[in-house]
Structure 1
Amino acid sequence: MKILAHILLLVICVLISLTLGKYGFLLSDYLEYFSGDLKEREILHTLIFEVRLPRILACVIIGAALSICGATYQAIFVNPLVSPSILGVLSGAGFGAGLAMFFRLDAIFIQLSTFLFGFLAVVVALLIAGIYERGRGVILLVLGGVISSSLLSSLLSVLKYAADPNDTLLSITYFLMGSLSFVPKDLIFLSLAPMSFGILFLCFCAKFLNALSLGEDEAKSLGIDVFKTKICVILVATFISALSVSIAGIIGWIGLVVPHIVRFIYEANNRAVLPYSAIFGAIFLLFCDNFSRLILGYEIPIGIVTSLFGIPVFIVILMRVKGR
């Protein structure tokens, strides 16, 4: 029943977000629209279904994906300070986007390059780690992620240095801040199915992650193939993380902060942490997006807003945990 209550809370947040904006409609106008009596029905229809709903769906699926990926990585590496950037996916995606923008490719190729390089960064980390050395896999994997991330961050800096400061550099910088302003509606609806499948898959892997959190030896004693389980879960988490970045750019802190909030409330059982992280992540990103759209006369990049809210929330959680 708890999960249904949380889903209902998410649905309420989505409905509220649909009514928020700077366009001059009142709540009564929305009620009249759904009853079929509104004179400006066509305008409101366009506003809701062509502008706001795709953006809200993007918020929900990206927030859920980044949060559950953060919770998944934290369970695999048995480290609460791990985030989706641990294996270099964010750095790789940033470099992929910067590379495509540098060569002035079309939007579809920018998104494709973002996704491919985000995924490639993790593959490089796996190769560097010497993945077949199963006994030291986790430590080597982290080191591989650090090397991959540093390499691609350096290459991105080279691109930014060589880019046109009046055009390309601005586009790269804005992308790295994260934004939902110019996300194509078709891309959002195209990404919903694979990202939803990835989120559900990770939720179903919760019992395996619980076993892995006890240690590799304990997991093996329970009959779990540690190596295959880790690789499978990492690849799925990387897939939806890279897809998230290709849609909206780099949005930080969600994958680190939200799982901590959930664990503070529901303890460390991944059967609760994973699905609740997805729901809370979607709500958190919805809140940040509404704030970025409404607080000023212009839109603030959402990656900045998630950092502004994520950092103090994280500090408060750490203080509360310390006080327990």
Structure 2
Amino acid sequence: MATRVGGGGLWLALAGLVLLAVLSMAVGKYAGPVDIMRALRAAVSGEAGDPLLSTVLWNVRLPRVAGALLIGAALAGAGATYQGLFRNPLVSPDILGVSGGASLGAVAGIFLSLPVLAIQAASFAGGLLAVAAVYAIGVTIRGRDPALTLVLAGIAIGAIVGAGISLIKILADPYDQLPAITYWLLGSLTALTRLDVVSILPALVIGLVPLVLLRWRMNLMTLGDEEAETMGIDTRLTRALLIAGATLITAAAVSVSGIIGWIGLVIPHIARMLVGPDFRRLLPASMIFGGAYLLVVDMLARSIALIEVPLGILTAAVGAPFFLWLLASGRRAWQ
């Protein structure tokens, strides 16, 4: 049986996350730990420091570290929500098409040569519209198993969105637009700015509100609709609110980072092994570990090669073996 981490363990993990964020600030090809510490000391004391170091610290490293924390936490928190809501350990945040819809919006924006902010807005809107379409189909069909109906509708919408992305890639300029589209689909924090980080904060906060407020009802939803309804839970309203919250934070994260897979699938399992299935503790644990995981992956991405490796490649390299182990071990980790 897996060892359960208590409340003190979560605070210890949070302290470790802060230390990891400080370490991540000092990793890079230009400015090392000594240079970053000198820039921090100059900023705190008010001294005139190296302007180039200050630019690297405040305009490059800080937005990147903050973005990794927020995006990793958002994807892992959404993954934990979807896995519990659909009672399936192999569910990830893109199960309802949010990642595909966001990708189609961004790809269309790149194809139309829109500015960066417009591309991010199109990506965010595409993710929300895709899930809205899935939910509308699920409500219209009203199958015997609402969760299964939503999953099947998500697969159908995902196929349509994937076809749209493929069509745009064929029509795109192979020397300019196609490389940009390919790189965006692989996920990266390279061009992340402070404005990008600030722009997704409202959506992340709003999306987390229903997840936090309904965290005890989430435990009942994992029992199934009939059991939850016998305990006085309005399953349709609760499901809609939880899906809306998880979709909102996923769309916000994907809109500025591109597709970073496996975090929402792998990290909730690790958190569940450590703190158990109680969503009141699983949600914060998943978010802490998700932020830490993406920080580590991002540090590897900018240090293991002469050119920066897209994050989607590294997360897949780690996530796929874990997925195979999960299949080999059956449902022990889920139970």
Question: For the residues of structure 2 that align with 1:289 and 1:83, how far apart are their CA atoms?
Answer: 21
Give CA deviations for 1:16-35 in whole Å, capped at 9, x if unaligned. Answer: 11111112444376157426
| Cα offset, 1:322, TM superposition | 6.7
Partner of residue 290, structure 1 = 299
What secondary structure sits across from 1:105 in the alignment? coil
What secondary structure sits across from 2:302 in the alignment? helix
Determine what percentage of the aligned residue pairs are the same residue. 37
Partner of residue 241, structure 1 = 250
Question: For the residues of structure 2 that align with 1:39 and 1:126, how far apart are their CA atoms?
Answer: 55
Q: Of the candidates 108, 126, 146, which is equivalent to residue 99 of structure 1? A: 108
Partner of residue 62, structure 2 = 53
Partner of residue 20, structure 2 = 13
| Cα offset, 1:193, TM superposition | 3.6
Is contact 2:210–2:241 with CA below 8 Å preserved after alignment?
no
Question: For the residues of structure 1 that align with 2:189 and 2:178, how far apart are their CA atoms?
Answer: 19
Give CA deviations for 1:113-171 in whole Å, capped at 9, x if unaligned. Answer: 11111111111111222357374311211111011100010011111111111111111
Unaligned runs of 5+ in 1: none
Q: Of the candidates 135, 143, 155, which is equivalent to residue 126 of structure 1? A: 135
Change (3 A) 1:144 1:37: closer
| Cα offset, 1:309, TM superposition | 1.5
Change (3 A) 1:32 1:150: closer
* Paired residues for 1:1-324 under 5 Å: 1-27=8-34, 30=37, 33-34=40-41, 36=45, 40-131=49-140, 133=142, 135-199=144-208, 201-317=210-326, 319=328
Is contact 2:31–2:53 with CA below 8 Å preserved after alignment?
no
Partner of residue 5, structure 2 = none
TM-score by length of 2: 0.90
Question: For the residues of structure 2 that align with 1:11 and 1:129, how far apart are their CA atoms?
Answer: 41
Is contact 1:82–1:256 with CA below 8 Å preserved after alignment?
yes
Root-mean-square deviation over aligned CA pairs: 2.1
Question: For the residues of structure 2 that align with 1:233 and 1:310, how far apart are their CA atoms?
Answer: 25
Is contact 1:33–1:41 with CA below 8 Å preserved after alignment?
no
Is contact 1:89–1:241 with CA below 8 Å preserved after alignment?
yes
What secondary structure sits across from 1:130 in the alignment? helix
Is contact 2:91–2:265 with CA below 8 Å preserved after alignment?
yes
Change (3 A) 1:3 1:196: farther
Give CA deviations for 1:76-128 in whole Å, capped at 9, x if unaligned. Answer: 10000000111011111111111111111111111111111111111111122
Is contact 2:138–2:146 with CA below 8 Å preserved after alignment?
yes
| Cα offset, 1:305, TM superposition | 1.0
Is contact 1:61–1:196 with CA below 8 Å preserved after alignment?
no
Is contact 1:54–1:188 with CA below 8 Å preserved after alignment?
yes
Equivalences, count:
324
Change (3 A) 1:26 1:139: closer
Is contact 1:250–1:303 with CA below 8 Å preserved after alignment?
yes
Give CA deviations for 1:155-203 in whole Å, capped at 9, x if unaligned. Answer: 1111111111111111111110001111232121121243134235413
Is contact 2:39–2:57 with CA below 8 Å preserved after alignment?
no
Question: For the residues of structure 2 that align with 1:135 and 1:89, how far apart are their CA atoms?
Answer: 24
| Cα offset, 1:220, TM superposition | 1.1
Question: For the residues of structure 2 that align with 1:8 and 1:106, how far apart are their CA atoms?
Answer: 38
* Stretch deviating more after TM superposition (261-270 or 66-75): 261-270
